[in-house]
Amino acid sequence: MIRCAFYLAPDGQLSDQLSMEQVRDFLATGEGLLWVDMEDVTNEDAEFLSNVFSFHPLAVADCLSKDIHPPKIDDFEKYLFIIGHGINYQIESDVVETTELALFLGKNYVVTSHDVPMRSVSSMLDRVRKDERLMRKGADFLAHDIMDALVDNIMPTIEGIDEKDDQLEAEALHEPKRETLTSIMQLKRSILALTRVILPQREIMNGLSRGQYALISERAQIYYRNIYDHLVRIEMLTLGLRDMTESVLNTYLSSVSNRMNEVMK
């Protein structure tokens, strides 16, 4: 369903909570900037994307599907179709899970689609309502701001894993328990989930920042480069956490082995 739809007219007036008919009418003008955000896309929404925006059936199918798709970018000349991943904060789990954000970027529109509420999108919706100037710089800058928020929301999870690693290291050294091993393996799975999506997402931003796509203005490219730099840093932190978790696992196994030796003696 359409969660929210904004239209910034050429005169700077911002319209909010547009109907499907209004979206169709504003899009037909070819002027201003339109942002449509969809959550939990239905068959009716898929028809709307196909009929009104004329998106490729494969891209629409990706939005409709509940399967997990890797980060990617498809160039359909008149628009770009980007799939990025952020942290799924809507579930309570000991293992980090990511969730998809599908984004269509056209000359004068941005369409976002996701299955669950996303902090990055919600924060951008609130920011636009408070300051319509965020949409005045164009569709490529709006898409940048959304992707930037998506990447920024990964950092709290990285910091949480780092703190958990320190805690588990102390447990593994002084009081190793079966629950400690379970927690270590959960951290390994969390880090693996992050590693899977960060590298391809980094390459997407690298392409967007190097003039490979006509829809990204030269003025906006440097801002996409900034997201790329953030992802490089996140990748380095994630690799460091992976090595640290392996070290914690070795510490745990060594501590358990030493205790068994003491018992045997």
- The pLDDT value recorded for residue 157 is 92
Q: Which amino acid is at 52?
A: V
Average pLDDT score, the chain:
91
Q: Which 8-state DSSP code applies to residue 7? A: E
Confidence grade of residue 178 (pLDDT, cut at 50, 70, 90):
confident
Question: What would the mean pLDDT of 66-76 be, rounded to a whole number?
Answer: 92
Question: CB 97: neighbour CB atoms within 10 A?
Answer: 15
Question: What would the mean pLDDT of 51-75 be, rounded to a whole number?
Answer: 93
Question: Helices 139-152 and 119-130, interaxial angle, to 10°?
Answer: 130
- The pLDDT value recorded for residue 33 is 96
Compute the Cα dihedral for 56, 58, 61, 63 and give only its sign: negative
For residues 201 and 231, is the Cβ–Cβ distance under 8 A? yes
Question: What would the mean pLDDT of 111-124 be, rounded to a whole number?
Answer: 93
What Cα–Cα distance (Å) separates residue 139 from each residue in 2, 126, 127, 211? 19, 17, 16, 16
User: What would the pLDDT profile of 34-59 be if each residue is shown by its tens digit?
Assistant: 999 999 999 999 999 999 999 999 99
Kindly state the tokens that stand for 153. Answer: 């929301």
Give percent of the chain with pLDDT exceeding 90.
75
Q: Is the predicted pLDDT of residue 126 greater than 70, yes or no?
A: yes
- More confidently predicted of 205 and 256: 205
Kindly state the tokens that stand for 223. Answer: 């801002």
Question: What would the mean pLDDT of 21-38 be, rounded to a whole number?
Answer: 94
Question: What would the mean pLDDT of 157-163 be, rounded to a whole number?
Answer: 92
- The pLDDT value recorded for residue 73 is 96
Beta-sheet strands, E only, within the chain: 2-8, 14-15, 33-39, 72-75, 79-87, 98-106, 109-114
**From CA 22, how far away is CA 13, in angstroms rounded?**
15
- The pLDDT value recorded for residue 255 is 80
- The pLDDT value recorded for residue 94 is 82
What Cα–Cα distance (Å) separates residue 238 from each residue in 59, 64, 154, 232? 30, 31, 11, 10
- The pLDDT value recorded for residue 261 is 67
Q: Is the predicted pLDDT of residue 205 greater than 90, yes or no?
A: yes
Confidence grade of residue 75 (pLDDT, cut at 50, 70, 90):
very high
Confidence grade of residue 187 (pLDDT, cut at 50, 70, 90):
very high
Q: Is the predicted pLDDT of residue 8 greater than 90, yes or no?
A: yes
- More confidently predicted of 175 and 209: 209
Model pTM? 0.91
